[in-house]
Amino acid sequence: MPKINIITQGCSSNLRESELMAGMLENSGYEVAHNDNHADISVVNICTVKSDTTALREIRKLKKQSPDKKLIVAGCITESIVPKIKQIDESAGFVNTHNLGRISAAVENSMSGTALELLDRRYEQKVNLPSVRKNPAIGIVPILNGCNYFCSFCSTKLVKGKLFSYPVDAIRQDVKSHLKAGCREIWITSNDNGAYMAEQGGNQKLIELLEQVLSIPVDFKLRLGMMNPGNTMAFLDELIEIYKNPKMFKFLHIPVQSGNNEILKLMNRRYAVEDFANVVGAFRKEIPEITISTDIIVGFPSETEPQFEDSLNALKKIKPDVLNLSRYAAREGTMAAKMKQLQTGTLKQRSRIMADLHRKIALENNKKWINWEGKILIDEKGKHDSWVGRNYCYKPVIMKGDFKLGDEIDVKIADVANFDLRGKISI
């Protein structure tokens, strides 16, 4: 049987979809290779949320290295990127995010010389499916597909479609399967976890879901992924109480995108800067040490220098531990792509200024953890024979030693860097 190598770009949802494709391929008798040099087919699970550039660069690299190797492009495939990929490889197959269950058919046809283009939109649950976990300590659990926002800068809605939430019971069973397999961390993921069951009028359903998952009588940690501010305000108090559960990582990913309300309105974000600040403030009042992660886009069309300054001031006020910083890039088919674009030099300059500011903020935040002692869960192999563990606030702690994924160890923070803590075994 052919060997298939899967290359993943983008978010944790994409990583989970690659794990699912690997599981379905193995169930069909294929071998999933861990090295492209040993594979007969490359499956590239692409991300196009910010731009096509990274996806196209990876595809060009693969074709240059192995021009005769079969190629299947999967994941977040926009209409506009399909002809660009065909210019690189006219025989490429396509399996979009709505058709992952047909990956084996795509491979079979590709090997026989007939590339499938599975680009229609289907709404299927992506839980309780066969999978091959990339990290045996982490179980990634999607809870919905699509989005109930329609941001003017984003292609997610165009790719993923309308909101489609999965049933509570099915998600809980998926979590139990991961835990039974030995996972120590569960990641709840989607395009916006705060929108769970919003298409069915279930504003409180995320709370019910988390209660059901946390009630599983197993020792594990749960990381709740991104939630838009506008979708969390309706159940903010209940959400904060959920976060007090000892199984919850005290980690909140809530994007602001801009510190200026006029830009937020142009972005069609459906909340104000004050709403974002109120959510963060409410969490910090009850859980002062919580790790805050946010997203900001610089250089949105028409963003003035004073409006950019508003974003810098918001950053200084909120002092997030994690900043996912993006330079605005026009996405074909979006409203913002039709607006007057700023010069590339302006985007680069603003990105550099904001990144420099955040490095200082992150370092000051991390200094507060020096001499902290407590348990961390090893969940990642680091660089240079190191390991990465997470404390109860999901802070990354770099460790040297003889560990393995899933180990829980007692540490003391001896030093810090801009974006991580440096630990030693606590005696």
Q: d(Cα 327, Cα 53) in Å, to the nearest integer? A: 13
The pLDDT of residue 169: 97
Cβ 24 vs Cβ 107: under 8 Å = no
Q: List, for residues 399-424, the tens digit of each pLDDT value.
A: 999 999 999 999 999 999 999 999 99
Torsion of CA 271, 275, 277, 279, to 10 degrees: -110
Q: List, for residues 301-320, the tens digit of each pLDDT value.
A: 999 999 999 999 999 999 99
Q: Which residues of the chain are in CATH 3.80.30.20 domains? A: 138-367
User: Can you say whether the dihedral through the CA atoms of 29, 33, 36, 39 is positive or negative?
Assistant: negative
**Which CATH number applies to 373-425?**
2.40.50.140
CA distances from 293 to 140, 317, 346, 401, 410 (A): 19, 14, 25, 29, 25
Q: List, for residues 31-58, the tens digit of each pLDDT value.
A: 998 766 778 899 999 998 777 888 999 9
Specify the CATH number for 138-367; select among 2.140.10.10, 3.30.70.600, 3.30.930.10, 3.80.30.20.
3.80.30.20
Q: Are strands 408-416 and 373-381 parallel, antiparallel or unpaired?
A: antiparallel
Mean pLDDT score of the chain, rounded to an integer? 94
Dump strand ranges (E) for 176-332: 185-189, 221-224, 251-253, 291-298, 322-327
The pLDDT of residue 157: 78
Q: d(Cα 123, Cα 125) in Å, to the nearest integer? A: 7
Q: List, for residues 170-204, the tens digit of each pLDDT value.
A: 999 999 999 999 999 999 999 999 999 999 887 67
Fold of the 3-118 domain: Rossmann fold (3.40.50)
The pLDDT of residue 204: 76
Q: Judge whether residue 149 has pLDDT over 90.
A: no
Q: Which residues of the chain are in CATH 2.40.50.140 domains? A: 373-425
The pLDDT of residue 24: 96
Q: d(Cα 178, Cα 187) in Å, to the nearest integer? A: 10
Q: Judge whether residue 141 has pLDDT over 80.
A: yes
The pLDDT of residue 215: 98
The residue-averaged pLDDT of 79-102 equals 94
Q: Which residues contact 53 (CB under 8 A, 6 or more apart)?
A: 329
Q: Which amino acid is located at 145 in the chain?
A: N
Q: d(Cα 366, Cα 414) in Å, to the nearest integer? A: 11
| Predicted TM-score of the model (pTM) | 0.93
Q: Judge whether residue 370 has pLDDT over 90.
A: yes
Q: d(Cα 46, Cα 53) in Å, to the nearest integer? A: 10
Cβ 280 vs Cβ 292: under 8 Å = yes
Q: Which residues contact 154 (CB under 8 A, 6 or more apart)?
A: 49, 331, 334
Place of tokens 């610089």: 298
Cβ 171 vs Cβ 141: under 8 Å = yes
The residue-averaged pLDDT of 234-259 equals 97
Give the confidence band of 271 by pLDDT, cuts at 50, 70, 90: very high
The pLDDT of residue 53: 86
Q: Which residues of the chain are in CATH 3.40.50.12160 domains? A: 3-118
The residue-averaged pLDDT of 11-33 equals 93
To 5 degrees, how large is the angle CA 138–CA 45–CA 61? 120
